[in-house]
Amino acid sequence: MASSIVSEGIVLIAVVIAAAMLSQVFLTTMTGIEQSSITMSERLGDKMKTSVKVISAVNSSSTSVKVWVKNTGTNIIPSSVIEKSDVLFGRFGEYSYIDYSELGVGWDFALLNSDDTNWQNGETMEITITTSAALATGDYYVCFNTFNGVSDEHYFSIGG
Amino acid sequence: MGQSTTVATAFTAIMMIAGVSILITTAVSGFDIISGAMTSQVDESNVAVNERMEFTGWGLVDPQTMRLNVSNTGETSLRLRDFDKFDCIVTHSEGGAPTSEWLAFDQSASAGDYWKINRVFFNGAQGDELNPITLTPLSGNWDPQEVLEITVHVDAASPSFSYLILATVNGVKASTGFTSPYELGSATITTGSTYVDVQHSLGRTPANVQVTPRSDITATVFWVSGVDSDGFRINLGSSLPIDAVFYWRAE
């Protein structure tokens, strides 16, 4: 009888330890999934709140183009994040990735109707794309892609 | 053995309940974030879909200043205090070189590059009744069916306006060109003179100029010369003893 109680106790302790270990592993995994899921939802929400619209684009000189892009979403984008956007530009069907550059060849931006350094809803940004070669007459394509993959594109032409 | 089975079952049940509650919490917070973003997106789409405007007229006040009428043809009221978030992009040429520039909305401006509101019309009469507009200080709404008269000023020496884009806070655009298809009038070469200079306001060199004499001038010939973006000259081969009136049409 006594040996039965002892063996019952040993089994009980073993079961408790095993269940505790399993619980810890399970809960840790679930917490990881929870965090990933929340992060994913937040990113998706951010993306849905981000919206941009290219208002117009024209060539301002033989080697530069001005593009006006409006923030039509509710996401507030700081200037430091705008620099992480992607700009694709070039002749129709021959566009390429343009590097961000505050000086010389590349793209740069200025917030036009903003009181601070954040790009907020309704505010417009003037992008200047400077090319190394003179822009020839023809059809052109420009695409502005935000840091989180929201984009708008615009087709325009440059006359002779 | 019975007690250990009970304990193991209890642990498993607690574990399952905790896991399920974590899953539910995660799903709910995820849905909450996404539904908030979706609501915001739908609201913006609704506004953008119902927002429309249309240019209904324009005229030059002076070589640097233009007045335009723009009508709210949509179903939304646009707050004047948001007008500083509107875009006004004007294209003009100076010495033949086209330039496009973004103009800031500045209701108090009288110099530099700017655009501002002059007055509002409703049903053809000046003024509005719904959300009345006050220009100083700026308040009120640009409501459906109301027409705004706006002033666009470019501080260039002699800009020849050609195109304008106006965009709302939501990026809804309206645009207009400033090229008249044609212009017509009459001009008189006075007795003893052999020419008259005619001015037009097409803002470009006309592709065609037609001139018709109102009376019999078969005694001499007539022709047109010096056609440019400002005007042209009607010439006579020799002066006439009467005033020679010509109808003209430049296009």
Q: Which of residues 60-89 of A touch B (CB under 8 A)?
A: 60, 66, 68, 70, 72-74
Contacts by A36-43 with C-beta closer than 8 Å and gap 24+? A37/B26, A37/B27, A37/B30, A38/B26, A38/B29, A38/B30, A38/B33, A40/B30, A41/B29, A41/B30, A41/B31, A41/B33, A41/B34, A42/B33, A43/A148
Query: Residue B91's closest chain A neighbor by CA?
Result: A58
pLDDT one-digit tens code per residue, B133-164? 999 889 999 999 999 999 999 998 778 888 99
CB contact under 8 A, B18 and A11: no
Mind listing the pLDDT tens digit of every residue in chain B (251 residues)?
Answer: 566 778 777 877 887 787 788 778 877 877 887 787 778 778 777 777 889 999 998 888 887 899 999 999 999 999 999 999 999 999 988 766 788 999 999 999 988 999 999 999 999 899 988 889 999 889 999 999 999 999 999 998 778 888 999 999 999 999 998 876 677 889 999 999 999 999 887 767 888 899 999 999 888 999 999 998 889 999 999 999 999 999 999 88
Compute the distance between CA of residue B12 and CA of residue A21 in angstroms, rounded to an integer: 11
pLDDT one-digit tens code per residue, A17-62? 887 888 788 888 888 888 888 888 888 888 888 999 999 999 999 9
Contact B224, B209 (CB under 8 A): yes
| Paired strand residues for B249 | B184, B210
Instruction: Write the Ramachandran bin of B170: left for phi over 0, alpha for psi from -120 to 50, otherwise beta.
Output: alpha
Per-residue confidence (pLDDT) for residue B2, from 0 to 100: 64
Query: Residue B17's closest chain A neighbor by CA?
Result: A27
Q: Which of B219, B211, B215, B220 is nearest to B249 (CA)?
A: B211
Q: Cα distance from A55 to chain B (closest Cα, Å)?
A: 7
Inter-chain contacts counted by CB atoms under 8 A, chains A and B: 129
Q: Which of B165, B76, B160, B72 is nearest to B115 (CA)?
A: B165
Task: Report which residue type is found at A51.
Answer: S
What number is the ipTM of this complex? 0.77
Both structure tokens of A138: 């023809």
Instruction: Name every residue whose Cβ is closer than 8 Å to that of residue B185 and which is 6 or more positions away in sequence.
Output: B198, B200, B247, B248
Contact A15, B8 (CB under 8 A): yes
CB contact under 8 A, B26 and A34: yes
CATH topology (fold) of A52-158: Immunoglobulin-like (2.60.40)
Q: Which of B249, B158, B239, B236 is nearest to B207 (CA)?
A: B249
- B79 CB neighbours in chain A (<8 A) are none
Question: Taking residues A96-119, what's their average pLDDT?
Answer: 93
For residue B51, count CB atoms less than 10 angstroms from its CB and return exposed for 0-12, middle for 13-18, buried for 19 or more. buried
> HSE of A11 in the Cβ direction (CA atoms, 13 Å)?
14
CB contact under 8 A, B30 and A60: no
The yes or no reply on domain B183-250 and CATH 1.10.10.10 is no
Indicate the domain borders of chain A. 1-49, 52-158
- B103 CB neighbours in chain A (<8 A) are none
Asked if A49 is an interface residue toward chain B (Cβ–Cβ < 8 A), one would say: yes
Both structure tokens of B63: 């070589």
Q: Over chain B, what is the mean pLDDT?
A: 87
Compute the distance between CA of residue B219 and CA of residue B81 in angstroms, rounded to an integer: 67
pTM: 0.73
